[in-house]
């Protein structure tokens, strides 16, 4: 049994979250077989909440002594961020684990809720960085993705009205959704697990330098005063900026990455609050209510 979700793909419900077709199998394989190392860095997001940006930022911070952000040979100038930081569920779907031996630590990404992460991640010292985003902007980003990317890739894909799509999103029926449930889980977790750093897309947009410092400190590689004086933080922010990354001609994305999608599909506007151009006031109010009801008294706000 399946239900069609926000962008009309068939989704299966498992323990309160929705998974795309065969991705559930891959998630289960990841859950059972992944062996974490203490040095691993695991990035967790909901789809369309800024995963691509987070991957580029963390990669650039971690590898900054190997490649300065102004280096003409920086991997982010030739490879989409999904090529350098693969999704665990795709690795397990394709059965191909990338070779990380030349450049530890391993930076890996996933969209799964915490309770679905493998035990080895939970019991190891590896660091987890969670990024959330306002669900109204997630919906709009997803809606555009559905309308502009899927029809070209899957000619048999059936478009649906924005109203129908929105109704499904409000019920949490979207890939790896409901995104607010996922955010709340990691939000609560950050108190008992110091390995979890909780970030917001909106904070990255408001002051990227501050958030880059938080990321570097969390990963145990804070920027030195000398690096700060040299403008290393600003250089990383520029390298990973929407303007910069969206205009790069990249090679095909790498193993364990999203196959055959061209770079441009990961970048649309990269703004906060674009939902006002798409959602009616009553739609926005409805989604706010759904989310607020869930987050009630948690201290987390997502709008």
Active-site amino acid positions? 111
List 47, 75, 135, 146, residue binding ligand A3P (CB under 6 A): 47
Residue number, nearest CB to ligand A3P: 270
List 5, 17, 26, 49, residue binding ligand A3P (CB under 6 A): 49
Closest distance of CB 205 from ligand A3P, Å: 7
Q: Binding to ligand A3P by residue 202, rule CB under 6 A?
A: no
Find tokens 């695991």 and name the residue: 42
Q: Which of residues 205-264 bind ligand A3P (CB under 6 A)?
A: 240-242, 245
Which of 212, 245 has the CB closer to ligand A3P? 245
33 is written with which tokens?
């077989």
Q: Binding to ligand A3P by residue 50, rule CB under 6 A?
A: yes
Q: Which residues lie across from 44 on neighbouring strands?
A: 110, 130
Q: Binding to ligand A3P by residue 25, rule CB under 6 A?
A: no
Cβ 45 vs Cβ 130: under 8 Å: yes
List 105, 109, 110, 137, residue binding ligand A3P (CB under 6 A): 137
List 267, 286, 288, 303, residue binding ligand A3P (CB under 6 A): 267
User: What residue ranges bind ligand A3P (CB under 6 A)?
Assistant: 45, 47-53, 137, 141, 144, 240-242, 245, 266-270, 274
């Amino acid at each position: 049994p399946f239900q069609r979700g926000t962008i009309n793909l068939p989704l299966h419900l498992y323990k309160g979250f929705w998974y795309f077709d065969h991705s559930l199998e891959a998630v289960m394989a990841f859950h059972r077989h992944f062996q974490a190392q203490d040095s691993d860095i695991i990035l967790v997001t909901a789809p369309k909440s800024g995963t691509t940006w987070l991957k580029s930022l963390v990669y650039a911070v971690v590898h900054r002594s190997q490649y300065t952000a102004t280096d003409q040979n920086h991997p982010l100038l030739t490879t989409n961020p999904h090529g350098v930081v693969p999704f665990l569920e795709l690795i397990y779907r394709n059965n191909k684990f990338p070779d990380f031996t030349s450049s530890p630590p391993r930076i890996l990404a996933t969209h799964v809720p915490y309770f679905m992460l493998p035990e080895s991640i939970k019991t190891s010292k590896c660091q987890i960085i969670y990024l959330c985003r306002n669900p109204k902007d997630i919906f709009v980003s997803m809606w555009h993705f559905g309308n502009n990317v899927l029809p070209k890739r899957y000619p048999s894909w059936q478009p649906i009205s924005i109203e129908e799509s929105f109704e499904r999103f409000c019920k949490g029926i979207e890939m790896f959704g409901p995104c607010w449930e996922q955010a709340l889980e990691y939000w609560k977790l950050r108190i008992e697990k110091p390995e979890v750093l909780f970030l917001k897309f909106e904070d990255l947009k408001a002051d990227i330098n501050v958030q880059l410092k938080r990321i570097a400190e969390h990963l145990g590689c804070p920027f030195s005063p000398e690096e700060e004086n040299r403008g290393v933080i600003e250089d990383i922010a520029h390298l990973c900026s929407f303007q910069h990354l969206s205009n790069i001609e990249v090679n095909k994305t790498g193993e364990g990455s999203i196959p055959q999608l061209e770079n441009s599909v990961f970048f649309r506007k990269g703004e906060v609050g674009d939902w006002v151009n798409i959602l009616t006031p009553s739609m926005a109010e409805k989604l706010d209510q759904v989310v607020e009801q869930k987050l009630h008294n948690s201290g987390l706000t997502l709008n």
